[in-house]
């Protein structure tokens, strides 16, 4: 192998090492879920009754999104459940309205460990 080819491979190895060294989220430092909490969508909407359970490789819950004017939207969400750091990370959430009129995704994630549920939109 010539030096010309060795250099790019070395750089690639360094990049992969650096990528692996990036700090992983410490999920136990996320704030405990409160009821209600502000929607990641903003607009003053508050999320109520958010209580994910883990079963069959998924985290699921029904919840209410309530606008400041009192309008209530009933929804359900499903996350992928990933075992990590001694608990379960609920990630890649997809929600739908229970009346079938709307769907979407969320950056919000939930970490469940020892019965404590913590959340973060970061």
Helices (H), the chain: 3-21
d(CA 2, CA 91): 44
Phi, psi dihedral angles at 12 (to 5 degrees): -60, -45
Structure confidence at residue 34 (pLDDT): 96
Read off the pLDDT of each residue in 26-52 and give the average, rounded to a whole number. 96
In a domain, residue 99? The reply is: yes
Read off the pLDDT of each residue in 28-33 and give the average, rounded to a whole number. 96
Within the chain, what is the greatest distance between any pair of CA atoms? 70
What is the DSSP pairing of strand 103-106 with strand 87-97? antiparallel
Query: What's the domain count of the chain?
Result: 1
Q: Is the pLDDT of residue 17 over 80?
A: no
Q: What value does the CA radius of gyration of the chain take, rounded to a whole number of Å?
A: 20
Structure confidence at residue 24 (pLDDT): 77
In a domain, residue 17? The reply is: no
The whole domain housing 55 covers: 30-120
In a domain, residue 15? The reply is: no
Q: What counts of helices (H) and strands (E) characterise the chain? A: 1, 10
Asked whether the beta carbons of 105 and 80 are under 8 A apart, the reply is: no
Share of the chain above pLDDT 70, in %: 81
Read off the pLDDT of each residue in 35-62 and give the average, rounded to a whole number. 97
In a domain, residue 55? The reply is: yes
More confident residue, 64 or 15: 64
Asked whether the beta carbons of 96 and 102 are under 8 A apart, the reply is: yes
């Amino acid at each position: 192998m010539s030096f010309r080819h060795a250099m790019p491979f070395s750089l690639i190895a360094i990049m992969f090492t650096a990528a692996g060294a990036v700090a992983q989220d410490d999920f136990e430092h996320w704030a405990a879920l409160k009821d209600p909490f502000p929607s990641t969508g903003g607009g003053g909407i508050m999320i109520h009754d958010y209580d994910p359970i883990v079963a069959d490789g998924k985290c699921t819950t029904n919840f209410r999104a309530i606008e400041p004017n009192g309008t209530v939207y009933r929804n359900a969400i499903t996350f992928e459940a990933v075992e990590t750091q001694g608990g379960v990370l609920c990630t890649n959430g997809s929600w739908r309205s229970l009346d079938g009129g709307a769907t979407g995704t969320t950056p919000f994630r939930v970490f469940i460990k020892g019965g404590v549920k913590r959340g973060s939109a970061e």
